[in-house]
C-alpha cells in the first residue's frame, strides 16, 4: 500500500495536480463514483504506472500549460496512460468527445452538425444559447417550428 506522503511531493495534498489524479482514479475504479458509468463501466482504466504513483503521473504529464488546460484522453475508448493523455484546452476537449461531430471526409476531419450537414464558418450562425449551428440546420429548425405552429393552428390552438 502506498502512503499519501509518498505519492505527493513533500506530502502536500495541495499540489495542483493531486485532485486531477485522485478524480481520474475515482471515475475509473470506484463503482460508487457518480461518473463511473462513463468511465470504469466502459472499461476505461488508469494504467498501473499512474494508478499507484502520483509522482509518476506528474513526471509523465508535466505541469499544466495554463489553468484553462485539463486532462484529456486522446482516444476516448482507451484508458489513462502516458501514451493516451495530454493537457488540452476546453475547445480541444469539446472536439475530442465521443459525441463529437467530426467526420472523416476524404482523409480530412471536418465538423458536421447533429444532422450531418457540413459545418463551415461561412455558413454558421450563433444561436441564442451561444452555440453555432449551420444555416442549413437553422432552416430545418425553422421548418420544424413552422410545422408545429401550423399543426397547433389547425387544431385551433395558439402558441
51 and 95 share one domain: yes
73 and 32 share one domain: yes
The last residue of one of the domains, among 78, 99, 120, is: 99
- What is the model's pLDDT at position 102? 52
For every residue of 72-121, DSSP letters joined together read: EESSTTS-B-TTTEEEE-HHHHHHTSTT--EEEETTEEEEB-TTS-B--G
94 and 136 share one domain: no
- On whether the pTM is more than 0.75, the answer is no
Query: Using 50, 70 and 90 to split pLDDT, how confident is the model at 76?
Result: confident
58 and 123 share one domain: no
Residue closest to 9 by CA, chosen among 46, 63, 48, 66: 63
Show the domain range for 111.
Answer: 101-159
- What is the model's pLDDT at position 86? 94
Question: Pick the residue with more confidence: 59 or 151?
Answer: 59
Total structural domains within the chain: 2
**Cα(95)–Cα(32) distance, integer angstroms:** 28
The last residue of one of the domains, among 99, 128, 146, is: 99
- Model confidence at 75: pLDDT above 50: yes
79 and 115 share one domain: no
pLDDT above 70 covers a percentage of the chain that reads 53
Question: Pick the residue with more confidence: 37 or 7?
Answer: 37
- What is the model's pLDDT at position 92? 81
48 and 88 share one domain: yes
- The string of pLDDT tens digits covering residues 105-147 is 555 555 555 555 555 544 445 555 555 555 556 556 666 667 6
86 and 118 share one domain: no
**Cα(105)–Cα(121) distance, integer angstroms:** 17
116 and 78 share one domain: no
Q: What is the mean pLDDT of residues 90-114?
A: 61
92 and 27 share one domain: yes
> What letter does residue 43 receive in the DSSP assignment?
T
Q: What is the mean pLDDT of residues 40-60?
A: 95
75 and 133 share one domain: no
65 and 83 share one domain: yes
- What is the model's pLDDT at position 77? 87
Amino acid at each position: 500500500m502506498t502512503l499519501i506522503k509518498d505519492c505527493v511531493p513533500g506530502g502536500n495534498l495541495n499540489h495542483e495536480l493531486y485532485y486531477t489524479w485522485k478524480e481520474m482514479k475515482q471515475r475509473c475504479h470506484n463503482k460508487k463514483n457518480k461518473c463511473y458509468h462513463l468511465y470504469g463501466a466502459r472499461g476505461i482504466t488508469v494504467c498501473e504506472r499512474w494508478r499507484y504513483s502520483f509522482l509518476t503521473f506528474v513526471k509523465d504529464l508535466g505541469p499544466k500549460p495554463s489553468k484553462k488546460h485539463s486532462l484529456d484522453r486522446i482516444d476516448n475508448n482507451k484508458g489513462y496512460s502516458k501514451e493516451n493523455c495530454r493537457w488540452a484546452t476546453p475547445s480541444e476537449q469539446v472536439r475530442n468527445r465521443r459525441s463529437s461531430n467530426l467526420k472523416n471526409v476524404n482523409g480530412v476531419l471536418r465538423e458536421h452538425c447533429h444532422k450531418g450537414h457540413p459545418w463551415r464558418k461561412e455558413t454558421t450562425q450563433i444561436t441564442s444559447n451561444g452555440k453555432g449551428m449551420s444555416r442549413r440546420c437553422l432552416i430545418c429548425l425553422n421548418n420544424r417550428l413552422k410545422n408545429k405552429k401550423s399543426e397547433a393552428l389547425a387544431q385551433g390552438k395558439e402558441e
